[in-house]
Structure 1
């Protein structure tokens, strides 16, 4: 689900800082600041803290922010050939794996919330309560931990005690001790994404039917909900394509190393970072209430800064 090439990122042939590392740092820093601003906005207003779609949105922001930090640290470590102890790398793998699965599963839950809001408006208030939102987040993290539990069980059963004290480049591949584990991981990922894709397509078709018969004030809201589901489907498609990236990269590695490096860099930007940077744009900027709150917080922060500067 993207963990296969997000771990190491892009490994250049030389140690000097080049434009690729700078571009990645700029992108990660920019979207991390945007995420931090939107998370702050979420916690400042009670309306957001008690509405399911905003709660799920905040869960995605926190997961993606943590994921950006971890992948960036691993990218820098691999760039400068920094090795980590297997035990520390194992901890990083656990956190990163949970974040990787949490994002698409939360997107699916957000799509279902939009389906209930548009196609079952009378039951929306009953189903999408704050209590149910917290239960939903618990379910999301439980489902996200299933593949991790499977692979950790296999690793702990197969690895020798000496493995835990070795210093290696931190990558998910060091936890794959048998060739069949790679196929098992691929199968689990594809089953997850197939289920999520079917759910999103189902919701899109249902909302589209409602959009055709909507009248009065409903058309605009329904159309926006339809666009949101379509954007979620696009995000999920990018994540789905990332499943095939390791197979393509492995074939290219046998042909030409520089071609492998270039393709892996492209995959990292487009299929690893991009899907996790779309959520703030889809909900944070397209949602009028949330956007106005973000704008207000930014303006308030700038006014306070100007006041403090003028005071000094």
Structure 2
């Protein structure tokens, strides 16, 4: 479930620069921008007590934190591949394990956010009782444990089988570290279970919210907003699932296409499958929130566009 990035070893830095002088900037600019946006959002979420004690904002904080880590790791690995920086096997092992742990957290977090929306619409009178900050924290701890299962299993198999790295130095990819067939089978099995479970939960909550929205006693506006939010969760889950195919796509294009075309496709795949899915969280869940948005704008512009800091306990 790793999002490590590879580049053909025959590609030199000068060749990449000569072919695509603006694409390196095109790749780096969205990374820098959304890392900044995520950082500002995290600062905003820690600035008010209401954000620290409300379930949906706690889940948003976890989502932003995980997406920022994945975005930063993917960006660094991409740059290392482009400029031909070779990492020691041990260092690569740490990076791959870290990526494998954090990658499934975002889909799990989407499931929790969908459940929170479902409870708010279908059980409004019990929402405050069920979706407490303590239970939300426990739920986040559980999904972090679940996200660690793949890496823990891989490391155990790696140690038991007495595996070694294919080479001492190389481009950091998952196959460089976990190159046995059993690792590939375990990775696909866990990925299938994770994404199927999350997909079922999101679809179930979406159907539940749609049914509740038709009830005469429901808040139509809140129900429709929740329905759209859960639908966005489902779309984002599809993008996360598509990002798992990134490495396979890159390997295939370098095998069957010419070098320049393969490099161009790698740029597009990196932006579309790695960067874009991890840039949706601030747009979907932050800027649509009427309570959060004015405070975020204040911090994002360093207070230059507002004479008074928004007040919210």
Question: TM-score, normalising length from structure 1?
Answer: 0.88
Q: 1:251 to 1:171 in 2, by over 3 A?
A: closer
Paired residues in the alignment total: 300
Match of 1:167 in 2: 169
Bigger fraction of residues in helix: 1
- Gaps spanning 5+ residues in structure 1: where? 306-312
Question: Contact (CA 8 Å) 2:167, 2:176: kept in 1 or not?
Answer: no
Partners of 1:271 and 1:49 in 2: CA distance: 31
How many Å apart are 1:274 and its aligned residue? Answer: 1.3
Question: Contact (CA 8 Å) 1:253, 1:260: kept in 2 or not?
Answer: yes
Q: 1:155 and 2:153 equivalent?
A: no
Q: Which moved more, 1:227-236 or 1:6-15?
A: 6-15
- The one of 107, 112, 118 aligned to 1:109: 112
Q: 1:295 to 1:249 in 2, by over 3 A?
A: closer
Partners of 1:66 and 1:251 in 2: CA distance: 27
Partners of 1:145 and 1:287 in 2: CA distance: 31
Q: Which moved more, 1:283-292 or 1:253-262?
A: 253-262
SS in 2 for 1:121: coil
Partners of 2:84 and 2:128 in 1: CA distance: 53
Q: 1:244 to 1:168 in 2, by over 3 A?
A: closer
- Gaps spanning 5+ residues in structure 2: where? 308-313
Match of 1:309 in 2: none
Q: Which moved more, 1:78-87 or 1:33-42?
A: 78-87
Question: Contact (CA 8 Å) 1:39, 1:58: kept in 2 or not?
Answer: yes
In the TM superposition, what whole-angstrom CA distance separates every residue of 1:46-65 from its partner, at most 9, and x where no partner exists? 10000011001001111111
Q: Which moved more, 1:248-257 or 1:219-228?
A: 248-257
How many Å apart are 1:131 and its aligned residue? Answer: 0.8
Match of 1:27 in 2: 30
Q: 1:158 to 1:22 in 2, by over 3 A?
A: farther
Question: Contact (CA 8 Å) 1:41, 1:294: kept in 2 or not?
Answer: yes
Match of 2:68 in 1: 65
Q: 1:164 to 1:304 in 2, by over 3 A?
A: farther
Partners of 2:306 and 2:283 in 1: CA distance: 26
Question: TM-score, normalising length from structure 2?
Answer: 0.88
Across the aligned residues of Structure 1 and Structure 2, the Cα RMSD in angstroms comes to 2.3
